[in-house]
Amino acid sequence: MSALVGKLHRLFDENFLEYTSYVIKERAIPSIEDGLKPVQRRLLQTLHNMDDGRFHKVANVVGETMKLHPHGDASIFAALVNLANKGFLIDRQGNFGNIFTGDQASAARYIECRLSPLAREVLFNKDLTEFTESYDSRTIEPVSLPAKIPLLLLQGADGIAVGMATRILPHNFRELLEAQIAILKDQEFVLYPDFQQMGLIDVTDYDQGNGKIRCRARIAEKNEKTITITEIPYGTTTSSLIDSVEKAAKAGKIKILSINDYTAEEVEIEIKLPRNIYAKDTIKALYAFSDCEMSLNTNLTLIRGNFPETSTVNEVIRFNTDKLVTDLTSELEIELERLSQKLHARLLEQIFIEERLYKQIEEVTTAEAVIETVESSLKPFTKELERPVSESDIERLLEIRIKRITRYDIERQAREIRNIRKDIKAVQISLQDTIGFTISYIEKLLDTYGKDHPRLSEITAFSEVKARKVALSNLTVGYNRESGFIGHTIKAENENSDISFSCSEYDRILLIDESGSYKVVPVADKLFVGEELVYAAVLKKNLVFNIVYRDGKENLAYVKRFATPKFILEKDYHLFSAHKRSRILLLLTGDNKHARVSLVPSRRAKSNVVEIDFDEYLIKGASAKGKRVSPRVARRVVESTERVIKDKERANARLPGLSEEADDAGESESIESNSVDDQTDGQGDQ
């Protein structure tokens, strides 16, 4: 039994690995050599086989491609439409859909296509192409095409395989070819993506094909009540963009009156705004809450030498450039060999006819003798030839017809030989400087096709739009002291309640209760906080808090000021030491605040009231103890609306008729008396 289980495990492992390898190599991940997936390569080869300069029905192209592709026609048709809409390799005729609106292409029987001039020039060369048998062995297909431009980076690619995925962003045609020239000249270069949908891109976190990139729609303020979107982020359509805006509006994150799509050849989405909502603020909200800003994660995974690997843009462009030099060198060598063969054949023909060597075989009766006669007659001219004469050369001479000999044009033949020699010399010069020849080839491509492919996406840096700052205050938080609940589904006890405020779902709320305990919480629909809440509001940075509190242990009042404290969300903190009698007597926020503290009466005290100007106290940490208000017990603390002016000279003055010693003694008696009152007051509180 265990042996059978082991065999089944091995069988599943082998089959799974085989399937995984097939999906990675034959379907989802593109090759670094030509930048194509297998279905794209088979499509282009089929179009090349069918190419006669005219358009072909897409249905016919799909049918022919099925001879090479082992999957259904749907995948072939989708790949063809995708390739055609990229605008480089396939010319279109008919409705191939709209990359801006997301509209689908017409049926395959209604639309037509053919290879573009660029594809004919840079994709095919049977002398450099390795072929293999198709899946049914009835025909042959290319292992890879000898692409002379970096198609992988030009078109980009998306694919999900087993255990891996790739997302390669498209780049600009001109910039890629200029980068290749820079590589050949040993110069620095940098490459960033470029999208047909245009828009704005931030490449701060882009790392040569990996990392991420942020894309934004181009939004213009037509007037303060109208917004227009003229370019959209990569990976979106006008339909998906409008859906995201409407979803944000339905959730209350933004407010719009209407949204209309007027897109045809160019993107045009118009948004109308309601009363009291203005374009400047809404544009920021659109970036924060809709697909007007997208973050694209990139992963440059490819097939190199039958194995998947993660690479970089610089590595890919350098590989393609080295391959281009190699391919062009091979083409030059093949062309040189072809020209040499042609020159050799023309020279043989010239000598054979002009020297009348054919007359020497008129009397010869056997084939062997004819060949020997021609061979011996050519020996004096060996130095004029490109290589030794072979038997096949002689047979080719003997196949020349009498009619051709009688009409032989000596001048024309000499001119053609001179032209061939000239072409050979040009190829030999190019082979001596293959780098220079490659640069000239790329520059020719740039001159011919570069003007048709300007940069479409604008590279810029985005200032991050924080959702909390641009969110609408569409929630009203209320506090019901009787039930002890707070939240945006809770109604305040009355309309004039001091704890009722508007906020957004992204805000944080600071809660402080009478015992001095505080914490920061997110906006909730319903949260129990108890009956002793004294402060609840949206958390504001650097807000100044002024409090007067009673220290339960000493039973004395203290005053302190602090700014908005640092916090961990939903963690409890304390403004002063915990004690069952400790409590906040007064809490005010902001500057220029005053309080009046009524103290327990004392027989010897000069006054039973202390005026507090909070601005005179230093702002310290939230956990600082603060400064004692008085050595006597505070009975009542209220906010004072009148500013207390203290004159330093009057504060230092003494009442007439009293000495400093008497004043100090009276103060001592007052303190002793207060201490008794404090004890009494404390017992009463107990």
CATH code, 67: 3.90.199.10
Catalytic option among 22, 110, 135, 262 = 110
Which residue in the block uniquely carries the two structure tokens 């039958």? Answer: 306
Distance in angstroms between the alpha carbons of the first and the last residue of the chain: 82
Which residue in the block uniquely carries the two structure tokens 């078109």? Answer: 155
- Strands 594-599 and 609-613, sheet pairing: antiparallel
- Same domain for 411 and 479? no
Residue of 29, 309, 47, 35 whose CA lies nearest to 170: 35
SS3 47: helix
- Same domain for 621 and 511? yes
- Same domain for 367 and 495? no
- Same domain for 552 and 656? yes
Cα→Cα distances 21→29, 162, 541, 550, Å = 11, 8, 56, 75
Mean pLDDT for the stretch of residues 467-474: 73
Of the chain, the percentage scoring pLDDT greater than 70 comes to: 89
pLDDT digits (tens, 9 = 90+) for 181-205: 999 999 999 999 999 999 999 998 8
- Residues 341 and 348: their CA atoms lie apart, in Å, by 11
- Reply yes or no on whether the pLDDT at 497 is more than 90: no
- Return the structure tokens found at 653: 């003055």
- Residues 248 and 259: their CA atoms lie apart, in Å, by 13
Confidence of residue 499 (pLDDT cuts 50, 70, 90): confident
- Reply yes or no on whether the pLDDT at 258 is more than 50: yes
Report if residue 266 sits inside a domain.
no
Mean pLDDT for the stretch of residues 121-126: 94
- Same domain for 495 and 595? yes
- Strands 508-513 and 544-551, sheet pairing: unpaired
- Same domain for 498 and 429? no
Confidence of residue 667 (pLDDT cuts 50, 70, 90): very low
Question: Annotated catalytic, 278?
Answer: no
- Same domain for 400 and 548? no
Q: Please, what is the Cα angle at 80 between 296 and 93, to 5 degrees? A: 115
Report if residue 318 sits inside a domain.
no
Residue 425: the pLDDT is 93
Residue of 640, 629, 559 whose CA lies nearest to 596: 640
SS3 656: coil
Residue 23: the pLDDT is 67
Confidence of residue 21 (pLDDT cuts 50, 70, 90): low
Confidence of residue 260 (pLDDT cuts 50, 70, 90): very high
What pTM did the predictor assign? 0.74
Mean pLDDT for the stretch of residues 433-455: 94
- Reply yes or no on whether the pLDDT at 659 is more than 70: no
Residue 13: the pLDDT is 59
Residue 397: the pLDDT is 79
| Amino acid letter, 535 | Y
Q: How many contiguous H segments (helices) and E segments (strands) does the chain have? A: 18, 34
Residue 177: the pLDDT is 96
For the chain, the farthest-separated pair of C-alpha atoms sits apart, in whole angstroms, at 164
Q: In DSSP terms, which residues pair with 133 in a beta bridge?
A: 140
Among 130-134, 283-287, 623-627, 643-647, which is the least confidently predicted range? 643-647
- Reply yes or no on whether the pLDDT at 315 is more than 80: yes
Beta-carbon contacts of residue 469 (< 8 Å; ≥ 6 apart): 284
Report if residue 612 sits inside a domain.
yes
Report if residue 303 sits inside a domain.
no
Residues 202-229 as b or e (16 or more Cβ within 10 Å = b): bbeebebbbeebbbbbbbeeeeebebbb
Range of the domain at 497: 467-685
- Reply yes or no on whether the pLDDT at 180 is more than 50: yes
- Residues 42 and 38: their CA atoms lie apart, in Å, by 6
Residues 307-346 as b or e (16 or more Cβ within 10 Å = b): ebeebebebbbebbbebbbebbbebbeebbeebeebbbeb
Mean pLDDT, the chain, integer: 85
Q: In DSSP terms, which residues pair with 339 in a beta bridge?
A: none
Residue of 634, 574, 641, 549 whose CA lies nearest to 600: 634
Report if residue 163 sits inside a domain.
no
Residue of 120, 118, 117, 146 whose CA lies nearest to 131: 146
Residue of 339, 322, 314 whose CA lies nearest to 190: 314
- Reply yes or no on whether the pLDDT at 681 is more than 60: no
- Reply yes or no on whether the pLDDT at 234 is more than 90: yes
Contact 612, 594 (CB under 8 A): yes
- Reply yes or no on whether the pLDDT at 495 is more than 60: no
Q: Which of 112, 144, 176 corresponds to the end of one domain? A: 144
Contact 67, 137 (CB under 8 A): no
Residue 22: the pLDDT is 57
Alpha-carbon torsion, ordered 540, 544, 549, 554, to 10 deg:
120
- Same domain for 489 and 624? yes
- Residues 453 and 446: their CA atoms lie apart, in Å, by 10
Q: Which of 398, 420, 437 corresponds to the end of one domain? A: 437
Which residue in the block uniquely carries the two structure tokens 């949206």? Answer: 538
- Residues 194 and 168: their CA atoms lie apart, in Å, by 11
Report if residue 262 sits inside a domain.
no
- Return the structure tokens found at 646: 């203290």
SS3 410: helix
The string of DSSP codes covering 179-211 is HHHHHHTT------B--TT--EEE-TTEETTEE
- Same domain for 71 and 117? yes
- Same domain for 71 and 120? yes
- Residues 122 and 449: their CA atoms lie apart, in Å, by 12
Mean pLDDT for the stretch of residues 630-649: 71
- Same domain for 368 and 428? yes
Residue 108: the pLDDT is 94
At 99, phi and psi to the nearest 5?
A: -70, -20
Confidence of residue 605 (pLDDT cuts 50, 70, 90): confident
**If residue 378 lies in a helix (H) or strand (E), which one and from where to where?**
helix 367-378
| Amino acid letter, 24 | I
How many other β-carbons are positioned within 10 Å of the β-carbon of residue 490?
19
Q: Which of 144, 166, 198 corresponds to the end of one domain? A: 144
How many other β-carbons are positioned within 10 Å of the β-carbon of residue 68?
23
Report if residue 252 sits inside a domain.
no
Contact 143, 153 (CB under 8 A): no
- Same domain for 585 and 647? yes
Which residue in the block uniquely carries the two structure tokens 């939903």? Answer: 570
| Amino acid letter, 53 | G
Cα→Cα distances 119→136, 449, 456, Å = 27, 11, 22
- Residues 279 and 254: their CA atoms lie apart, in Å, by 11
Domains contained in the chain, number: 3
Mean pLDDT for the stretch of residues 446-468: 87
At 234, phi and psi to the nearest 5?
A: -60, 135
CATH number, domain with residue 512 = 2.120.10
Report if residue 533 sits inside a domain.
yes
